[in-house]
Structure 1
């Protein structure tokens, strides 16, 4: 189709539209359509005022409940289609030849919209529903007015040739729609596979995440390949873009590729896995999710640290639950020199052993570590079964130590300062001890 054919086609359409508008039946049909639309909107408003959509069909099975909600939401379109079809039947029998072409078009478009809404009701993504609904309705509208084939020819007449690849607006539209459909099906299939894998008790969390990622990536590559082949694009024709993609990876996508590869390595070597308690730099918390680019570490105070996978491969990582969840808790404290160190150690070990979360099979240990200027320094160690809440356990033991020291008369050292005041009300060179 060249430019002269397009111009001639537009002239023909203009003459047809002009002839239709000049007919008095055009305005009659237009009025009937407006009247049907007004009645449909009024009926829909009356229905919405009488029905509580939130509690509609609560006891029905889910498919029937969704159908009931869909029918209520589309009630105005249903009423409009019924009225227009009734008006078309009336005009068909009262005029000859039939003067109801616009009514036929309006009825078909309304019915097409109802069918599209019914089909897309199974899709949960709102954006995808709107995109599919509008695209399908435009195609249906062009088909109803017998303009689908000319529109397809016009979209296919404009092309750009890149190497052995011919791109037209029609190819781009088809490819976009097929990719959307293929990616949606891929997402549904991968979610189903993920649910089945996560329910398996024979697989470790890291293997589960690795399998899910491999399935998602494989299905994504398959969906893209199928969509390209469906529109007639030979995959070998895309070889011209491989060099550009390689340059793009080399210039700006190093970190993305490095994080992706690092994520695969982490899942394969099982050094970290969902549920582990880790410390990375100044960030500590439990791994809540492992993504393609990063891991999510929940700090326990509402914050979540998103740490790139590459950092876990290249930096020092403390995994508190790598091979064993048992965790050693260390409490440092001091007493003055008037206390009996052996008695202090026995008392501290008894308090640590009586802690609620202390492992009873491992005896706590308390040692004297230093004779400092202000007093003796001790180190108390004991084991707990899980590192979660380690600071709370440590605080409870220190509070119990304080109460025991007060009860047994053991004093905690504190610094002593000397003030030498020269002159004033006190005698010269008088020494005053001030204790904090």
Structure 2
């Protein structure tokens, strides 16, 4: 700890003796003065919409991004020339100011060019900006002659072990590695799952599976990279993790089973996102397939989070597997006075008028049975939306009701005759 305080005092002495404060103040003042005029100039070059060619949009974006640093460089050159002539002993060695402003120009243009690559992801944009800010900070510290002093201070050990020591620099490097790999993992998952693999003709569910595996791989690699930066022996850690994994695996068999089931679902593709299925007596649509659990949205709008082992260990009815055709059955009972041929033609006519009913396979009417109070028919029609079966059946029932009513065809209700066989009963008048 004494060495740490000593190095801190040395670092503060270097800062106090350097002329970085004048240069920093000069940079801050120039950029603040030029910010508002650059903002006003940007209004003359509004951003172009998606209807314009990409090169025009990138050019316009680059021009807007470079106005502020370009104006700062021009003002900085003039200001520095005046200050050096007036106070050469203070600003005589301030050439680094222009270099820093030039770096700001390059980073602004780079950020403007990379922004359209992923416009809908704020976390990815934040990662790019963080990396650019870190790069700018390192180069700026080097131009101000503070980088070596800062590195020397951060390299002092905080605590030491048997074979290695941990420094502030190693901790910062490990944190940076975790942040970098985490951001890259998220970006890689999005790019692979939504852009690269689908454009190569890979199925959407398989693309998501591969992208998810790539993300976990990068995150794990980032963890090992951070441990290596901290000075840990990876071979020893690997052995310890393996031994610990055996013990934990015995108690986490359910989680491991769900994890493996998730991989099976993603690669086998027997259940995909958007499929309509019945699982444990509940009809729902698959919203997302994760590595541990999947999200099923019921017809009531409720999101059910189900472990993946349910889908691999049980029989699941998948109405979207193979094709999206679904049969809709509607039972109809009419009076015995009705003509069966007329009823058949009427039901087929009703089905033909429905927009959701397909012509091929053609609708079919079956004479089911002679009921107790009615003759029973069944209309069988095909639709191309498994999720729309209740709505299609409801539309058919509405149409059948009005069609029967217009034709004067009766829909009977059950009638029962009661026969009393107990002989004569006494009747008393009150």
Calculate the TM-score normalised by the size of structure 2. Answer: 0.72
- Name which of 366, 376, 397 aligns with 1:378: 376
What residue is the counterpart of 1:309 in the other structure? 308
Structure 1 residues 173-226: Cα deviation after superposition (integer angstroms, max 9, x where no partner): 22333344445555555555443432355x655544444444444455456556
State the secondary structure of the residue aligned to 1:54. coil
Unaligned runs of 5+ in 1: 418-427, 431-436
Are the structure 2 counterparts of residues 400 and 16 from structure 1 closer, same or farther at C-alpha, using a change threshold of 3 Å?
closer
What residue is the counterpart of 1:398 in the other structure? 397
| Matched-pair contact (CA < 8 Å) for 2:157–2:168 | yes
Does 2:234 correspond to 1:235? yes
What residue is the counterpart of 1:16 in the other structure? 17
What residue is the counterpart of 2:38 in the other structure? 44
Output the CA distance in 2 between the equivalents of 1:274 and 1:399. 32
Does 2:151 correspond to 1:152? yes
What residue is the counterpart of 2:169 in the other structure? 170
| Matched-pair contact (CA < 8 Å) for 1:33–1:103 | no
Q: Tell which has more relative contact order, 1 or 2 (C-alpha 8 A, sep 6+).
A: 2
What residue is the counterpart of 2:411 in the other structure? 412
Deviation at 1:320, TM superposition (A): 1.0
Structure 1 residues 18-75: Cα deviation after superposition (integer angstroms, max 9, x where no partner): xx79xxxx99x89977764564245335425x52533599665343233123114xx1
Deviation at 1:113, TM superposition (A): 3.3
Output the CA distance in 2 between the equivalents of 1:162 and 1:333. 83
Output the CA distance in 2 between the equivalents of 1:281 and 1:307. 10
Are the structure 2 counterparts of residues 258 and 189 from structure 1 closer, same or farther at C-alpha, using a change threshold of 3 Å?
same
Aligned length, in residue pairs: 403
State the secondary structure of the residue aligned to 2:47. helix
Unaligned runs of 5+ in 2: 119-123, 417-426
| Matched-pair contact (CA < 8 Å) for 1:84–1:103 | no
Deviation at 1:384, TM superposition (A): 0.9
Does 2:190 correspond to 1:198? no
| Matched-pair contact (CA < 8 Å) for 1:298–1:305 | yes
What residue is the counterpart of 2:105 in the other structure? 114
Summarize the alignment of residues 36-435 of structure 1 with structure 2, pairs less than 5 Å apart.
Answer: 36=30, 39-48=33-42, 51-55=44-48, 60-72=55-67, 75=68, 77-93=69-85, 98-100=89-91, 103-104=94-95, 106-121=97-112, 122=114, 124=118, 125-160=124-159, 166-186=165-185, 191=190, 193-194=192-193, 195-201=195-201, 206-222=205-221, 225=224, 233-239=232-238, 240=240, 257-281=256-280, 283-297=282-296, 307-314=306-313, 317-335=316-334, 338-339=336-337, 342=340, 346=344, 350-351=348-349, 354=352, 356-357=357-358, 359-360=360-361, 363-368=364-369, 370-371=371-372, 375-376=373-374, 378=376, 380-388=378-386, 389-414=388-413
| Matched-pair contact (CA < 8 Å) for 2:83–2:91 | yes
Which has the larger displacement, 377-386 or 299-308? Answer: 299-308
What residue is the counterpart of 1:6 in the other structure? 7
| Matched-pair contact (CA < 8 Å) for 2:287–2:296 | yes
Deviation at 1:380, TM superposition (A): 1.2
| Matched-pair contact (CA < 8 Å) for 2:328–2:383 | no
Are the structure 2 counterparts of residues 81 and 148 from structure 1 closer, same or farther at C-alpha, using a change threshold of 3 Å?
same
What residue is the counterpart of 1:422 in the other structure? none
